[in-house]
Amino acid sequence: MSLPDALRVVGLASQAEMALVRRDAVVGALLAQAARAAEGTPAGPLLSEAARLARAEPGREAVRQAALSLCRMGLQEAQADALGRPAGGVP
Amino acid sequence: MSGRLLGQDASVLAAAGADVGVLQEIEAWARRAVAVPGGTPIVDAHVHLGVDRDGHMLSAADLVADLDANAIDAAVAFPADEPGAGGDFRDANRRVIEAAAQYPGRIVPFCRLDPLRSPDAAMAEARDAGARGLKLHPVAQRFRPESAECIHVVRAATDLGWPVLFHAGFGARPLGPAFAGLIEAVPDCRIILAHGGRGDHRAVAAATAGHPGLLFDTSIASLPDLVTVPPERLAFGTDRPYGDYAQALHLVGTAARVAGWDAAAISAVLAGNLLRWIGPVAP
């Protein structure tokens, strides 16, 4: 993953993380964007599933928290790419 | 569908339409992200029990179920933000200490105080009941780490041999000068800065670099912060119920790969650094 691609995902996933924390309705759009930006990378499946959960039932607390966990893991994967980490595999 | 998934009731996630199979695969993958050296215990430095004013909640039974499901040996736990009518956390502290007694060897109880609300009596009560450390939250309880009131309780905790865990995440105030001031006032204190000090990591890391009694916990920390800290200054944590074990283990495993930690460093982060401060989980 190139540095610009990684930074794009980091930016979108960071915004989505805070939107999830704040229970902001914008989270669905942010996660969808992050998932598209991360397609084909280790962060992709994590952000894609977070986006799917957030669409499913965003008002339910357990769903929000599970989406938050997935979003944070996607963010961590993208940050690792930006930092030039050794490959860790795809979930 | 029963059990827990990403720290949540799996049946609730299933009812909401989650693909439980996919989530189970992701959770298992996240756990494998950290190469736990054989025989290494894992101790969570940061868990809230009870019902927080913001609605987050975790019972001791659910915590222990999460520990079992994720092969975590034990957790340091302290009250959520539920100070009670007197504002001194005495009832909440008592409940956490009772939970530790109910699950021996799984929960290490810390007490939580408000330095502005009868801290001496509340600390004495918690000490006598079995507390083994202190948690302070400058944002929730609205005090400054370098204030006279906070210095007073940190000095009292230090005299008891207790580590003090501070919230050091979300918040507007600069943390570098604050914790530098606290350390100057109580040079022998041992403090754990939660969330990798992400609220002001660069400044607080620089301001505390020479202080031997400082750990950053990894709960909901930022990866770029963790990989710039020597692993001997890190302690694994989750911030349950705000974080969960899959994400927390994935974070530590990813940091280990990026920073190139060896097995000894990973063991130290997962438990060794914290256990040197708190002693055996079951004293």
> Tokens 């705000």, residue?
B242
A76 Cβ under 8 Å from any chain B Cβ: yes
Token code pair at residue B141: 């309880």
Interface test with A, best of B1, B4, B5, B8 (most A CBs within 10 A): B8
- Residue percentage of chain A with pLDDT more than 90: 81
CB within 8 Å of B280: residues ≥ 6 apart: none
Q: Give this prediction's pTM.
A: 0.96
Residue A88 binned pLDDT confidence (cut-offs 50, 70, 90): low
Contacts of B259 (CB under 8 A, 6+ apart): B226, B227, B231
Q: Is A66 on the interface with B (CB under 8 A)?
A: yes
Query: Nearest-CA distance from A57 to chain B in Å?
Result: 6
**pLDDT tens-digit readout, A7-46:** 999 999 999 999 999 999 999 999 999 999 999 999 999 9
Tell me if residue B237 falls in helix, strand or coil.
coil
Nearest chain A residue to B222 by CA distance is: A76
Q: What is the pLDDT of residue B170?
A: 85
Report how far residue B63's alpha carbon sits from residue B188's, in angstroms, rounded to the nearest whole number. Answer: 32
Report the distance separating Cα B2 and Cα A22, nearest Å.
Answer: 29
Per cent of chain A over pLDDT 70 is 91
Say what the pLDDT of residue A91 is: 67
What is the tens place of the pLDDT at every residue in B205-217? 999 998 999 999 9
Other C-beta atoms lying within 10 Å of the C-beta of residue B259:
18
> Pick from B112, B169, B107: which is nearest to B139 by CA?
B169
CA distance B111 to B126: 6
Residue B112 per-residue DSSP state: E
Judged by a CB distance cut-off of 8 A, whether residue A22 touches chain B is: no
Question: Among A1-5, A55-59, B50-54, B215-219, which stretch is predicted with the lowest mean pLDDT?
Answer: A55-59
Chain B residues near residue A53 by CB distance under 8 angstroms: 13, 16, 18
Scanning B48-77 for CB atoms below 8 A from A yields 55
Q: Is the bond leading into B187 cis (omega within 30 degrees of zero)?
A: no
Q: Encode chain B (283 residues) as per-residue pLDDT tens digits.
A: 558 899 999 999 999 888 999 999 999 999 999 999 998 999 999 999 999 999 999 999 999 999 999 999 999 999 999 999 999 999 999 999 999 999 999 999 999 999 999 999 999 999 999 999 999 999 999 999 999 999 999 999 999 999 999 999 988 889 999 999 999 999 999 999 999 999 899 999 999 998 999 999 999 999 999 999 999 999 999 999 999 999 999 999 999 999 999 999 999 999 999 999 999 998 6
Residue among B8, B241, B258 minimizing CB distance to A80: B258
User: Which residues are within 8 A (CB) of B187 and not within 5 positions of it... i.e. 6 or more apart?
Assistant: B211
CA B254 to chain centre: 19
Taking contacts as CB-CB distances below 8 angstroms, the residues of chain A near B7 are: 65-66, 69
Q: Is residue A90 pLDDT above 90, yes or no?
A: no
Which of A51-55, A65-69, B163-167 shows the lowest per-residue confidence on average (mean pLDDT)? A51-55
For residues B132 and B164, give the distance between their C-alpha atoms in angstroms, rounded to a whole number: 10
C-beta separation of A12 from A46 below 8 A: no
Rounded Cα gap, residues B16 and A67, in angstroms: 12
Using CB atoms, which residue from A56, A76, A89 is nearest to B18? A56
Question: What's the CA gap between A89 and A41, in Å, rounded?
Answer: 9
The pLDDT, as a whole number, for residue B1 is 53
Identify the band that residue A1 occupies on the pLDDT scale cut at 50, 70 and 90. confident
**CB of B89 within 8 A of CB of B81?**
no
- Are residues A31 and A50 in contact, defined by beta-carbon separation less than 8 angstroms? yes
1-20 in chain A: CB under 8 A from chain B: none
Task: Identify the pLDDT of residue B199.
Answer: 87
> Is B23 in Cβ contact with A66 (below 8 Å)?
yes
Whether residues B258 and A45 touch (CB distance < 8 A) is answered with no
What is the enclosing helix (H) or strand (E) of B259?
helix B245-259
Strand-strand pairing, B57-58 and B43-51: antiparallel
Residue of A nearest to B18 (CA): A53
**Interval B209-264: pLDDT, tens:** 989 999 999 999 999 999 999 999 999 999 999 999 999 999 999 999 999 999 99
